[in-house]
Amino acid sequence: MLLRLFALAVLALPLAAPAAQPAPKAASARVTSPDGRIAVDLSSDPDGRPIYSVSRDGKALLAPSHLGFLLADTPKLDRAFAVTQPRTRSFDETWEQPWGERRQIRNHYNELRVTLKETAKTARRLDLVFRVYDDGLGFRYEFPQQASLPQLNIREELTEFVLAQPATTWWIPAGEWNREEYLYHRTPVEEVGIAQTPITFKLANGTHLSIHEAALIDYSGMNLTRVEGRRFKALLTPGLDGVKVRRQAPFNTPWRTVQIADDAAGLAMSSLILNLNDPNVLGDVSWVKPMKYVGVWWEMHQDLKTWSSGPRHGATNENVMKHIDFAAKNGFGGVLVEGWNVGWDGDWFGNGDDFSFTRSYPDFDLEKLSAYAKSKGVEIIGHHETSANAAHYESQMEAAFDLYQQVGVHAVKTGYVSDAGEAKVIGADGKRHYAWHEGQDMARHHLKVVTEAAKRHISINAHEPIKDTGLRRTWPNTIDREGARGMEYSAWGNPGNPPEHEANLVFTRLLAGPMDYTPGIFGMKTRAPDGVATTWAKQLALYVVIYSPLQMAADLLENYEANPRPFQFIKDVPVDWEDTRVLNGEVGDYVTIARKDRHSDNWYLGAVSDEEARTLKAPLAFLDKGRKYTAQIYRDGDKANWKTAREDIVIEEREVTSADTLTLKLAPGGGQAIRFIAR
Amino acid sequence: MLLRLFALAVLALPLAAPAAQPAPKAASARVTSPDGRIAVDLSSDPDGRPIYSVSRDGKALLAPSHLGFLLADTPKLDRAFAVTQPRTRSFDETWEQPWGERRQIRNHYNELRVTLKETAKTARRLDLVFRVYDDGLGFRYEFPQQASLPQLNIREELTEFVLAQPATTWWIPAGEWNREEYLYHRTPVEEVGIAQTPITFKLANGTHLSIHEAALIDYSGMNLTRVEGRRFKALLTPGLDGVKVRRQAPFNTPWRTVQIADDAAGLAMSSLILNLNDPNVLGDVSWVKPMKYVGVWWEMHQDLKTWSSGPRHGATNENVMKHIDFAAKNGFGGVLVEGWNVGWDGDWFGNGDDFSFTRSYPDFDLEKLSAYAKSKGVEIIGHHETSANAAHYESQMEAAFDLYQQVGVHAVKTGYVSDAGEAKVIGADGKRHYAWHEGQDMARHHLKVVTEAAKRHISINAHEPIKDTGLRRTWPNTIDREGARGMEYSAWGNPGNPPEHEANLVFTRLLAGPMDYTPGIFGMKTRAPDGVATTWAKQLALYVVIYSPLQMAADLLENYEANPRPFQFIKDVPVDWEDTRVLNGEVGDYVTIARKDRHSDNWYLGAVSDEEARTLKAPLAFLDKGRKYTAQIYRDGDKANWKTAREDIVIEEREVTSADTLTLKLAPGGGQAIRFIAR
């Protein structure tokens, strides 16, 4: 015998008959987006559990969904709340990104805040805050300082997201905890298992949603587990032990975000995640420099060189100088060098204790190479592979950054390769503990890296990172990261990245922020069974489609030297943008994006397809009215096909104006890249 | 950059090119069922992770599935193992149940044992043991005493179950942790979220599987979470903190079980769960007595009486004596009385500290009533509602059992109603902690209740219990339990139990063991919108279909007194069986079961349908050849229908022999009950 309603009636008036009890009258409040289309309703169920629901144009998107916490060794914090009078406010400002996919971002929302206080003796309190934008919403829990709840030991967050409509869903699994590098699943919502975020839904009525989080600071990363039907619950990444988050009040959780748009293109235009982060705290960040780079890297993935020392060592003075010369000649700002430091010769994958972040291999002279690079107007991009041994890294990190600062390295690629083992962190007890990539300890670690780097004017490009939640707004030296299957899977993956991969990324992973995807491959045969499964034109298009402030030209230098005409686009394309327009797209199928250079009047366009040939219309209304542009077009040739003719590219020019509409013919696995030079 | 195969190659031979590494040759072993149809293959993947797979008649049922553990603050125990030479053995014995659904059970299996030892310095060891039966398999992890792993702090079990074929799945959700009382979902396997066990699958090739566990002792209950596709992982019930199981080596985990049959009927015939439990440790258990009972109970669920004190108190001397008289007159062995003890008047649901298990309400005289019952050849069935406050219960439990022993009570129904809060247990520190229904602490609690009760010759019928894993074999006073939606949902549920509910239970929950479902309702109008959604004939059939050694006649006494003809079947039907045959069935649709009385030559048959009318064939080949039987048939009348004519029942007799085949016409929501009297 157990029934919630029955039991509660007994609770409320134990002497009376259960049937005689009316349900408690639920408090409720509503907040809408500035344009009035999105409405969030907050109320409570008969148990006094807070529930929220979301609709748009009167159509339900999220059905009533519960909120709350499971705390360690103390009752759930999720019900029997008294609710204060809701407080609302509006906010509207436009702020400027120091670098980014657009210069100006409007932060315009209506906010609803309620204070919940337990009616039980414990009388614990928390605030629920909803911010509703035209492009979605964020909500978070805020814990004030209070005697009845001085310390939060969170075992699980009970936040639910109940989809109100059937939906197609794009997602990658969670549960291994140290991996983000999966191929995307496309399934009905009812077939999702445990998913990482961002998770993207196309609802039955065509509306697109993406659930993610913003401002993941000193907290555990959120995954979603589908309990049944279309009901998802938050699943926080495990911590050292079963307490997933330890915080002292006052504190706020990260924002739980739901980006909402009429179509996939609208979703990719959203700035919600950034808006929900705090403004820049670093002041002048002109030292954070978006740039293109080449590197001692693809040759290792192609098994031509090694990270480790020996006869095939990649990071030699000679090889690095060759790359510096190439970068200088072709206008690239940086040269990444992996495998430069001592530690790659042992069991680095499972351990990381052997890495030195200050000692070079004997055939790599950091000072000399840095000076040589500087003399050529180029910078070395540093590299710190930690194999997720954060404790070991932190023991050397400051010295390592000092060294880079001395020699003039201003960007460092970090790496957290780990699969079998768990990340190691230093706990509050001063000892080493195991931890997961996206647990609270690693959230702290990653922020520590960024703030220590900032002191030395170094930007961080983390690979195998914690997920992106928009912290680049607050710490703009968080310049880039990986966090999804990158191009290297096309070097050796089995399977490699399929043709649909990038059209998935734009509407899933990339909603979280930029990704160092490392495109630009012309040598299409690799150790992966299908090689690089795109056309050349698509490789060029990726420089526009995949936003990355550090954008690599990843291929072997000789492949660029041998193909100067298509390489010209890579030389021309910028990495910092005045504006971005997503012209069209369907998740996992295709996308066309136009971006305006931040430092000229030129525009760039990239379009990519999946395995299907497509003909897309690209109206050029984004161009200045009345102005003439020379369009340098890099398109798939008539026979181009990712399976049979990847190199079939046509490069041509034409005059265009904003009144023109281009017809983009994309080959199977193809794409198109266009540079619009303002006349 | 992160890829397991790549990384491992580096691990193995860091100086060599990844591409050059051959995969390690996997050790493998096979064990088959005695009939040779089921094969279990154990091997390891390229990471040295143990994997098992299961096939039947050469057709894959479970695809390669991983095994292992996630331990607190120390590396995963799941890979880089060296494997000993497999050891096999065969076992075959037939044992007798002191009471049960059949007297004789054959325990016949082939066993495979391997010892895994880490190749890393830690060199931790464990054994994997597989037992393969004709009706499925069980496997468990065994930890020997060892210096390198003296204490196991298990955060999660990494056991996987990967279905090799598409399947229809019947399941209830997990994740609230204190509830088993859900309606069953019937979905494709790909739509399962987080599920409790038993979970039942009908594979594309028709084979039926059920995954569950056996011998859950001092460990946390296993749920299954679907990660993606058809891949499930174990999800242990949370503990006090994030360590879900704390055990010192040596110890063995519970058995992870996969029951396998050609059809649903075969699944319901399986004795696998019992066979994987240890034999009876209580010696003579003739004091454990299956019986039918009535009780002061349905009138509370119908809101005619109250558990709490006051003018409508149910557990009064007068009312109990009325029930004793009725029981004596009609041959029932027991009278359950709920609400007899002090504690029901306050906030018992959220707390339980107010309950006394020895102090009666003033209008209930335990000694007098027990003596009165005894004088009539009847026993009081005791009742201990704990509201899942195990700590409080344990503080009084021994005194409470002493009291019941003194007055001659030999069966106690316990209750663990809890939804909002968490069960309270005493931790190793002697303090009270919160815990979940199926966590390790509650597993210990429930076994403590059973063993304390056994000392006083008391049997336990736990409601809102820990799940059944066959412990009744080892402790036969574990006589019954609930652990699913019972009949009371048809008293006040919204929705109540639908017509398909019992046809779901037989092939899901009941695979774990008996259930105190409390059938036998003739008063079909209740507070539930659909009332009791069956015909009368189906209510009678449930006494055969749902195996329960304590079988209640749950309705108000006046409903039996007013309907003596159908009530006759309830009076006649036994509760202890010599043999059981499942004649036909489809999960959630219908089922027909025949059982032979353990104390006569009579057979009984029950058939139930879901909302569909059905015509089923019941060959009587189970009857003794050449013998004549009088079949007393209780069948749906021509107009019977759970919606419109529930009381339309036809009671008739005919002569039959084992050569006959009966045609059972079941109405929508209907059933049929037959008593075969040997001549």
Q: How sure is the predictor about B676, in pLDDT bands with cuts at 50, 70 and 90?
A: very high
Whether A389 has a pLDDT exceeding 90, the answer reads: yes
Contact B74 A434 (CB under 8 A): yes
Contact A238 B242 (CB under 8 A): yes
Residue A11 in contact with partner chain B when CB distance is under 8 A:
yes
Q: Which of A196-205, A232-241, A339-348, B257-266 has the lowest mean pLDDT?
A: A232-241
> Which residues in A lie closer than 8 A to residue B344 (C-beta atoms)?
14
Residue B304 in contact with partner chain A when CB distance is under 8 A:
no
The residue among B295, B327, B306 whose CA lies nearest residue B516 is B295
How does DSSP classify residue A523?
Answer: -
How does DSSP classify residue B495?
Answer: S
Contact A11 B433 (CB under 8 A): no
Residues 515-574 of A with CB under 8 A from B: 527
Contact B173 A227 (CB under 8 A): yes
Contact B72 A240 (CB under 8 A): yes
The arithmetic mean of pLDDT across residues B333-346, rounded, is 96
Which amino acid belongs to residue A288?
A: V
Q: What share of chain A has pLDDT > 90, as a percent?
A: 87
* Interface residue of B2, B189, B355 to substitute, partner A, most A CBs within 10 Å: B2
Q: Are B544 and B592 a contacting pair, CB within 8 Å?
A: no
CA distance A492 to A527: 5
Give me the phi and psi of A505, to 5 degrees please.
-55, -45
The arithmetic mean of pLDDT across residues B476-496, rounded, is 97
pLDDT at position B47 is 82
Residues 227-256 of B with CB under 8 A from A: 227-229, 231, 233, 238-244
Chain B residue at shortest CA distance from A481? B1
Q: Are B136 and B119 a contacting pair, CB within 8 Å?
A: no
Contact B5 A181 (CB under 8 A): no
Q: Are A153 and A250 a contacting pair, CB within 8 Å?
A: no
Choose, from B180, B379, B488, B578, the residue flagged as catalytic: B488
Residue A531 lies in a domain: no
Whether B16 has a pLDDT exceeding 80, the answer reads: no
Tokens 């198109």 belong to which residue? A672
Angle at which helices A440-455 and A390-407 cross, to 10°: 10
Q: Whole-number mean pLDDT of chain A?
A: 93
> Which residues in B lie closer than 8 A to residue A13 (C-beta atoms)?
none
Q: Which of A42-46, A93-97, A293-297, B620-624 has the lowest mean pLDDT?
A: A42-46
Q: How sure is the predictor about A435, in pLDDT bands with cuts at 50, 70 and 90?
A: confident
Residue A278 in contact with partner chain B when CB distance is under 8 A:
no
B96 is catalytic: no
DSSP B542-595: HHHHS--SEEE--S-HHHHHT-HHHHHHHHH--SSEEEEEEEEEETTTEEEEEE
The arithmetic mean of pLDDT across residues B133-161, rounded, is 96
pLDDT digits 0-9 by tens, B597-646: 999 999 999 999 999 999 999 999 999 999 999 999 999 999 999 999 99
pLDDT at position A559 is 98
Q: How sure is the predictor about A363, in pLDDT bands with cuts at 50, 70 and 90?
A: very high
Whether A537 has a pLDDT exceeding 50, the answer reads: yes
Q: How sure is the predictor about A179, in pLDDT bands with cuts at 50, 70 and 90?
A: confident
Give me the phi and psi of B402, to 5 degrees please.
-55, -45
Residues 211-230 of A with CB under 8 A from B: 225-229
pLDDT at position A421 is 60
Residue A261 lies in a domain: yes
CA distance B3 to A367: 33
Hey, what are B117's tokens?
């030892």
Q: Which helix (H) or strand (E) holds A552?
A: strand A550-552
Whether B494 has a pLDDT exceeding 90, the answer reads: yes
**Residue B370 CB-density burial (10 A; 0-12 exposed, 13-18 middle, 19+ buried):** buried
A–B: how many Cβ contacts below 8 A? 196
Q: Which of A14-23, A383-392, A564-573, B228-237 has the lowest mean pLDDT?
A: A14-23
Q: How sure is the predictor about B421, in pLDDT bands with cuts at 50, 70 and 90?
A: low
Residues 455-514 of A with CB under 8 A from B: 463-464, 482, 486, 488-489, 492-494
Residue A306 in contact with partner chain B when CB distance is under 8 A:
yes
pLDDT at position A252 is 98
Does this model's pTM top 0.95? My answer is no
Contact B241 A242 (CB under 8 A): yes
Residues 32-71 of A with CB under 8 A from B: 47
Whether B5 has a pLDDT exceeding 80, the answer reads: no
pLDDT at position A27 is 62
The arithmetic mean of pLDDT across residues B570-593, rounded, is 98
Residue A156 lies in a domain: yes
pLDDT digits 0-9 by tens, A637-669: 999 999 999 999 999 999 999 999 999 999 999
Contact A228 B193 (CB under 8 A): yes
Contact B488 A1 (CB under 8 A): yes
Residues 141-160 of A with CB under 8 A from B: 155
pLDDT at position B426 is 85
Q: Whole-number mean pLDDT of chain B?
A: 93
> Which residues in A lie closer than 8 A to residue B11 (C-beta atoms)?
347, 349-350
The residue among B289, B379, B383, B287 whose CA lies nearest residue B335 is B379
Number of domains in chain A: 1
Q: What share of chain A has pLDDT > 70, as a percent?
A: 95
Contact B181 A306 (CB under 8 A): no
Residue B385 lies in a domain: no
pLDDT digits 0-9 by tens, A108-146: 999 999 999 998 888 999 999 999 999 999 999 999 999
Chain B residue at shortest CA distance from A516? B1
The arithmetic mean of pLDDT across residues B338-357, rounded, is 90
Distances from the Cα of A112 to the Cα of A65, A109, B9, angstroms:
17, 10, 54
DSSP B46-63: TTS-EEEEEEETTEEEEE
pLDDT at position B19 is 34
Residue B347 in contact with partner chain A when CB distance is under 8 A:
yes
CA distance A577 to A595: 6
Count the alpha carbons within 13 Å of A162 in the hemisphere toward its beta carbon.
14
pLDDT digits 0-9 by tens, B261-303: 999 999 999 999 999 999 999 999 999 999 999 999 999 999 9
Whether A4 has a pLDDT exceeding 70, the answer reads: no
The arithmetic mean of pLDDT across residues A307-328, rounded, is 98
pLDDT at position B665 is 98
Hey, what are B237's tokens?
């019930």
* Interface residue of B162, B186, B228, B441 to substitute, partner A, most A CBs within 10 Å: B228
Q: Is B451 helix (H, G, I), strand (E, B) or coil?
A: helix
> Which residues in A lie closer than 8 A to residue B14 (C-beta atoms)?
308, 344-348
Residue A72 in contact with partner chain B when CB distance is under 8 A:
yes
Contact B228 A185 (CB under 8 A): yes
Q: Are A549 and A289 a contacting pair, CB within 8 Å?
A: no
Sheet holding B603-609, edge to edge: B577-586, B590-597, B603-609, B671-678, B629-636, B649-656
Cα of B398 to nearest chain A Cα, Å: 25
Contact A228 B190 (CB under 8 A): no
Whether B198 has a pLDDT exceeding 80, the answer reads: yes
Distances from the Cα of A675 to the Cα of A573, A630, A656, B135, angstroms:
8, 8, 11, 68
B183 CB neighbour count, 10 Å cutoff: 17
CA distance A539 to A608: 9
CATH of the domain at A102: 2.70.98.10
Contact B73 A301 (CB under 8 A): no
Residue B139 lies in a domain: yes
* Interface residue of B1, B190, B194, B338 to substitute, partner A, most A CBs within 10 Å: B1
The arithmetic mean of pLDDT across residues B502-511, rounded, is 98
Q: Which of A59-68, A294-303, B24-33 has the lowest mean pLDDT?
A: B24-33
Residue A501 lies in a domain: no
Range of the domain at A160: 29-276
Distance of CA A85 to the CA centre of its chain: 36
Residue A195 lies in a domain: yes
Whether A23 has a pLDDT exceeding 80, the answer reads: no
Residue A657 in contact with partner chain B when CB distance is under 8 A:
no
- The backbone region for B310, taken as left when phi is positive above 0, alpha when psi lies in -120 to 50, beta otherwise, is left
Tokens 């039980």 belong to which residue? A120
- The backbone region for A651, taken as left when phi is positive above 0, alpha when psi lies in -120 to 50, beta otherwise, is beta
Chain B residue at shortest CA distance from A436? B73
Distances from the Cα of A202 to the Cα of A167, A260, A489, B226, angstroms:
5, 10, 27, 22
Chain A residue at shortest CA distance from B74? A434
> Which residues in B lie closer than 8 A to residue A79 (C-beta atoms)?
420
Choose, from A157, A180, A338, A488, the residue flagged as catalytic: A488
Distances from the Cα of A442 to the Cα of A153, A326, A392, angstroms:
17, 37, 13
pLDDT at position B528 is 96
Contact A233 B175 (CB under 8 A): yes
> Which residues in A lie closer than 8 A to residue B308 (C-beta atoms)?
14-15
pLDDT digits 0-9 by tens, A594-628: 999 999 999 999 999 999 999 999 999 999 999 99
Contact A15 B308 (CB under 8 A): yes
pLDDT digits 0-9 by tens, A551-599: 999 999 999 999 999 999 999 999 999 999 999 999 999 999 999 999 9
CA distance B668 to A354: 72
Residue B117 lies in a domain: yes
The arithmetic mean of pLDDT across residues A367-388, rounded, is 97
The residue among A428, A427, A473 whose CA lies nearest residue A97 is A473
Whether B17 has a pLDDT exceeding 70, the answer reads: no
Give me the phi and psi of A9, to 5 degrees please.
-60, -40
Contact A464 B73 (CB under 8 A): no
Tokens 């120091």 belong to which residue? A98
